[in-house]
Amino acid sequence: MEAEAAKLVGAGLAAIGAGMAAIGVGNVFGSFLESALRNPGAADGQQGRLFIGFAAAELLGLLAFVVAMILIFVA
Amino acid sequence: MAAEQGKVDPMHQFTIEPLVRWEVAGYDLSFTNSAMWMLVTTLVVALFVAGGLKRQLVPGRWQMAVEVFTGFIDDMLEANIGKEGRKYVPYVFSLFMFILFANLLGLLPLGVVGLHPFTFTSHFTVTGVLALISFSIVLIVGFWKHGFHFFSLFVPHGTPAPMIPIIFLIELFSFLIRPFSLALRLFVAMMAGHVLLKVLSGFVINGANAGIGIGALVSIPSFALMIAISALEILVAGIQAYVFALLTSLYINDAEHLH
């Protein structure tokens, strides 16, 4: 395989990471909502933690985007 | 911009162009479009906050809007750091407002009238400096308050003795990676959204150029998606500013209280 083609294939494969991060972010908000509906009184106090979990899950998906960008524009 | 085959280059919007050229001893210190939008953001934030400083006993709409933001940051710091957190309100508030307004101003559709907004938070240099300021505050406060006891941050209570070297390394590494993850998150989130919008705009333009049938089939759904993504981008602009401020306050909490 030519190097140029391999780069583009690699960048495309990095999109899998973005999809995985989508599962992660969905999991964070889904679990939060599930438990927030069980105990609405405690939900407001946990919003900070919700966004910390969201930020951590999202960062890993964004890293996949960075990998794709590096493969296309830098490597 | 419109390269061969009428393609819209999604990376063109991130080019930094000097507006006023200025070189000092071989260093390029030009006033760029990035610097101009930072200046605009600072001015808009200053105007917004100044409008709310009338200190009326019964606040008007504008003062209420500003107080919502200050109260929000105040509550966040109080919840995460405790009452020592009050003294960080000016820094975290400025940080939050600067990032929020930068993200939102970069989304303004001013390109219609020929004035292209530049989202400087989509550049790693800018977010990197913001993250380094936050990280420096953590280091300075940590060493100022606790001296070399600050290193106990890297060894949680009740760690078994044989595990201490490994845990120390892991905690140290995760501590040192914080400014990178903080800067990377904001920069990539802003950049990804803007690239996505430009790619979709390419679909709209090329579809419309290809004739009425393909135009209706491709351009109209793409345009509808663009509107939806723009709404999502406004949400992301707010969330990223919030996450940046939230993580900064959590890191400052580590420096204030160790574990």
Q: Is the pLDDT of residue A42 over 50?
A: yes
What ipTM was assigned to the predicted interfaces of this complex? 0.79
Is A29 near chain B, with CB under 8 Å? no
What is the structure's pLDDT at B6? 58
Kind and range of the H or E run holding B27: strand B27-28
Of A54, A59, A73, the CB nearest to B181: A59
* E strands present in B55-170: none
The pLDDT > 70 percentage for chain A reads 100
What is the structure's pLDDT at B98? 93
The answer to whether residues B117 and B110 touch, using CB atoms and an 8 Å cutoff, is yes
The answer to whether residues B44 and B59 touch, using CB atoms and an 8 Å cutoff, is no
CATH architecture for the domain at A1-74? Up-down Bundle (1.20)
| Residues of chain B contacting residue A46, judged by C-beta atoms under 8 Å apart | none
What is the structure's pLDDT at B46? 93
Mean pLDDT of A48-74: 86
The HSE-up count of residue B188 (CA atoms within 13 Å, CB side) is 21
Inter-chain residue contact B246 with A63, CB threshold 8 Å: no
What is the structure's pLDDT at B204? 87
What is the structure's pLDDT at B1? 40
User: What residue in B sits closest to A72 (Cα-Cα)?
Assistant: B11
Mean pLDDT of A30-42: 91
| Residues of chain A contacting residue B191, judged by C-beta atoms under 8 Å apart | 69
pLDDT tens digits for chain B (259 residues)? 444 455 677 777 788 888 877 777 877 778 888 888 899 999 999 999 988 887 777 888 888 888 899 999 999 898 888 888 888 999 999 999 999 999 999 888 877 777 788 888 988 999 999 999 999 999 999 999 888 888 888 888 888 888 888 988 998 998 999 999 999 999 998 888 888 888 888 888 888 888 888 888 888 899 999 999 999 999 989 999 999 999 999 999 988 887 6
Q: Encoding tokens for residue A24?
A: 């992660």
Task: Write the CB contacts of A41 (distance below 8 Å, at least 6 apart in sequence).
Answer: none
Domain boundaries, chain B: 2-257
Is A16 near chain B, with CB under 8 Å? no
User: What residue in A sits closest to B11 (Cα-Cα)?
Assistant: A73
CB count, 10 Å around CB of B245? Answer: 24
What is the structure's pLDDT at B131? 94
Inter-chain residue contact B184 with A52, CB threshold 8 Å: no
Cα separation values, B107 from A31, A45, B235, Å: 31, 31, 11
Domain boundaries, chain A: 1-74
What is the structure's pLDDT at B5? 57
For chain B, the distance separating the N- and C-terminal CA atoms, rounded to the nearest angstrom, is 52
What is the structure's pLDDT at B93? 93
Inter-chain residue contact A58 with B185, CB threshold 8 Å: yes
Residue B197: alpha-carbon gap to chain centroid:
18
**When comparing pLDDT for B183 and A46, which is higher?**
B183
Closest-CA distance, A38 to chain B, in angstroms, reads 23
Report the DSSP beta bridge partners of residue B144.
none
**Confidence grade of residue A70 (pLDDT, cut at 50, 70, 90):** confident
The answer to whether residues B105 and B44 touch, using CB atoms and an 8 Å cutoff, is yes
What is the structure's pLDDT at B96? 94
